[in-house]
Structure 1
Amino acid sequence: MFYRKNLPGWERAMRTILGVVMIAYGLFGMPGTTVGYLIAATGAVAILTGFFGFCPMCAMAGRRLSSS
Structure 2
Amino acid sequence: MWFRKNMKRPESLLRIAAGLAMAAVSLWWQGASPLGLALAAAGVGIGLTGAFGYCPACAMMGRQPTE
Partner of residue 51, structure 1: 51
Q: What is the TM-score with the length of structure 2 in the denominator?
A: 0.87
8 Å contact kept, 2:8–2:66: no
> Which region of structure 1 is more displaced relative to structure 2, 16-25 or 26-35?
26-35
> Runs in 1 of length 4+ with deviation above 3 angstroms?
none
Q: 5+ residue gaps in structure 2?
A: none
Pairwise CA RMSD = 1.4
Partner of residue 4, structure 2: 4
Q: CA deviation at 1:2?
A: 1.6
Cα distance in 2 for partners of 1:18, 1:53 equals 14
**% of aligned pairs identical?**
39
Cα distance in 1 for partners of 2:30, 2:5 equals 33
Secondary structure of the residue that 1:17 maps to in structure 2?
Answer: helix
Q: CA deviation at 1:11?
A: 0.7
Deviation digits for residues 1-59 of structure 1 (CA, Å, limit 9, x no counterpart): 52010011111000000111011011111102222112101111011100000011101
How many residue pairs match? The answer is 67
> Which region of structure 1 is more displaced relative to structure 2, 33-42 or 45-54?
33-42
Q: What is the TM-score with the length of structure 1 in the denominator?
A: 0.86
Cα distance in 2 for partners of 1:54, 1:14 equals 13
